[in-house]
């Protein structure tokens, strides 16, 4: 199932790349034609004109290179190492790391981490990467400052990590395109951040969901499956401490 899912997203990615590559290629084509015309007519091709054409060619080549490098990064199989443990520390570390930059943007960070959490199978590095992507997006959505809540709790047989912002929010149309590779509304966005988050959560046998309201804010939630052994231990209320690891 996972392989077919990868293949499907690979097809979407390839279509995205093909689309992205078209614009730089068209620009290069036009400027090469302009150069050729100037040569053929053997008229005065000024140095500054020639330089302008060459600059465009160079810029577009650089853009093509970025597209290819980003693509390779996004489709590369994730080298995940899932280990059973407490996610609490991982989440706190990301928050501590982001705190300074959030404060500089007049964003108040609130951590709401449940005191008892089951252990889950996760890759520390990948979860940090996913959370940072969500926090960066939240920060971009709160230009004039706001509140960012990072919460961790158990929801039945799932462990949920939510990132809630009080930012610009999104309309239905934007929400439906969020996880598509290369979908971005930012001038210098890659549109690959949430694609990566999606991929990371699939790698964990989990999922990512979103709720948002235009003008009010957005909640992204990472859902991790709780291993059956941990789930059972938690149900036997008295033994909760047994699953708590510092
Ligand atoms: P990028 O950040 O490069 O644009 P992403 O995949 O991270 O790419 O996000 C895609 C788009 O989803 C963003 O351009 C933005 O329009 C929208 N988005 C993501 N997170 C949020 C958020 N927290 N609030 C509002 N819009 C968001
Ligand atoms: Mg992003």
Distance of CA 131 to the CA centre of its chain: 8
Neighbours of ion ligand 2 (CB under 5 A): 137, 193
C-alpha pair distances (Å), 140 with each of 48, 146, 166, 169: 39, 11, 11, 11
Judged against a pLDDT cut of 50, whether residue 231 lies above it is answered with yes
Pocket test for ligand 1, best of 107, 130, 137 (most atoms within 8 A of CB): 137
pLDDT in tens, 60-74: 999 899 888 877 777
**For residue 44, what pLDDT is reported?**
73
Q: What is the pTM of this model?
A: 0.77
Inter-residue contact 77 to 2 (CB < 8 Å): no
Per-residue pLDDT, averaged over 199-209, amounts to 94
Give, for 122, the enclosing helix (H) or strand (E).
strand 120-122
Judged against a pLDDT cut of 50, whether residue 192 lies above it is answered with yes
Nearest CA to ligand 1 atom 13: 184
Mean pLDDT for the chain overall: 88
Place of tokens 């995205």: 16
Per-residue pLDDT, averaged over 158-184, amounts to 93
Distance CA 197, CA 218 (A): 16
**For residue 1, what pLDDT is reported?**
58
Judged against a pLDDT cut of 70, whether residue 85 lies above it is answered with yes
Judged against a pLDDT cut of 80, whether residue 199 lies above it is answered with yes
Per-residue pLDDT, averaged over 81-103, amounts to 96
The ligand 1 atom at the shortest distance from the C-alpha of residue 220 is: 23
Q: Which ligand is nearest to the CA of 189?
A: 1
**For residue 126, what pLDDT is reported?**
95
Q: Kindly report which listed range (17-26, 131-140, 229-238) carries the lowest average pLDDT score.
A: 229-238
- Higher pLDDT residue, 95 or 6? 95
């Amino acid at each position: 199932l996972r392989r077919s899912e990868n293949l499907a997203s690979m097809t979407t990615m390839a279509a995205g790349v093909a689309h992205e590559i078209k614009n730089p290629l068209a620009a290069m084509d036009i400027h090469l034609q302009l150069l050729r015309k100037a040569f053929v007519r053997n008229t005065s091709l000024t140095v500054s004109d020639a330089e302008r054409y060459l600059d465009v060619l160079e810029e577009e080549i650089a853009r093509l290179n970025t597209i290819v490098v980003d693509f390779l990064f996004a489709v590369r199989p994730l080298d995940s190492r899932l280990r059973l443990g407490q996610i609490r520390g991982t989440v706190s570390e990301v928050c501590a790391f982001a705190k300074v930059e959030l404060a500089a943007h007049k964003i108040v960070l609130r951590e709401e981490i449940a005191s008892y959490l089951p252990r889950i199978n996760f890759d520390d590095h990948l979860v940090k990467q996913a959370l940072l992507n969500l926090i960066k997006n939240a920060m971009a959505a709160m230009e004039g400052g706001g509140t960012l809540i990072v919460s961790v709790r158990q929801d039945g047989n799932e462990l949920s990590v939510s990132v809630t912002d009080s930012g610009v929010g999104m309309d239905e149309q934007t929400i439906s395109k969020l996880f598509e590779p290369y979908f971005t509304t930012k001038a210098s966005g890659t549109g690959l951040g949430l694609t990566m988050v999606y991929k990371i959560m699939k790698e964990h046998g989990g999922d990512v969901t979103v709720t948002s309201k235009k003008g009010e804010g957005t909640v992204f939630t990472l859902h991790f499956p709780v291993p059956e052994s941990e789930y059972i231990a938690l149900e036997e209320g008295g033994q909760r401490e047994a699953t708590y690891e510092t």
